[in-house]
Amino acid sequence: MNSVTTQQFHKFWLIITAVVIGSFGPVFALGTRPSTAELARWTLDLLSWPLDGLQTYADPTTQFLSALTGGFLFGWGIMVLCLRQWVYDAEPEGVRKSVLVGVLAWFFLDSAGSWASGNPSNVFFNVIVLLICVGPLWRPAGDGGAI
């Protein structure tokens, strides 16, 4: 059996998925205050390529939305980590499918919103994040069968 498709490797990969998702949380949470917003502003500028400095965090509405986004992303990352830690051994396929469907739902809605808002470059970044988050979770462990 290929080591990439073992349950042990899937369980390890869930850590990568959780860290990738959750790491965006603190970045955007920093956008809630002008004195700490530069990393969030720069990240948003990068995701709306090209780097042109047009993205700002001067508006209180943007700061509030950044707080919400940061909280949701950090919480989602922690949830993936908890599913890995406390549920995966009992229900590996259920956890794999749940994380996969959640990441795909994020990808399609975020990409559609990015495109509609005039930021199609973010779709490219979303593809990279999608590939990293999904990794070997695309296929069930051990049998190489259907999703």
Q: Is the pLDDT of residue 143 over 70?
A: no
Q: How confident is the model at residue 5 (pLDDT cuts 50, 70, 90)?
A: confident
Instruction: Give the H/E segment covering residue 112.
Output: helix 92-116
Please tell me the total number of residues recorded for the chain in this structure: 147
State yes or no: pLDDT of 144 exceeds 80. Answer: no
pLDDT of residue 99: 99
What is the average pLDDT value for the chain, to the nearest integer?
94
Residue ranges of domains in the chain: 3-137
Identity of the amino acid at 136 = P
Q: What is the mean pLDDT of residues 18-38?
A: 97
Beta-carbon count within 10 A of 33 CB = 13
Distance (Å, whole) CA 147 – CA 140: 7
* 33-78 residue pLDDT tens: 999 999 999 999 999 999 999 999 999 999 999 999 999 999 999 9
9 pLDDT exceeds 80? yes
Buried b (16+ CB within 10 A) or exposed e, 111-145: beebeeeebeebbebbeebbeebbbbbebbbeeee
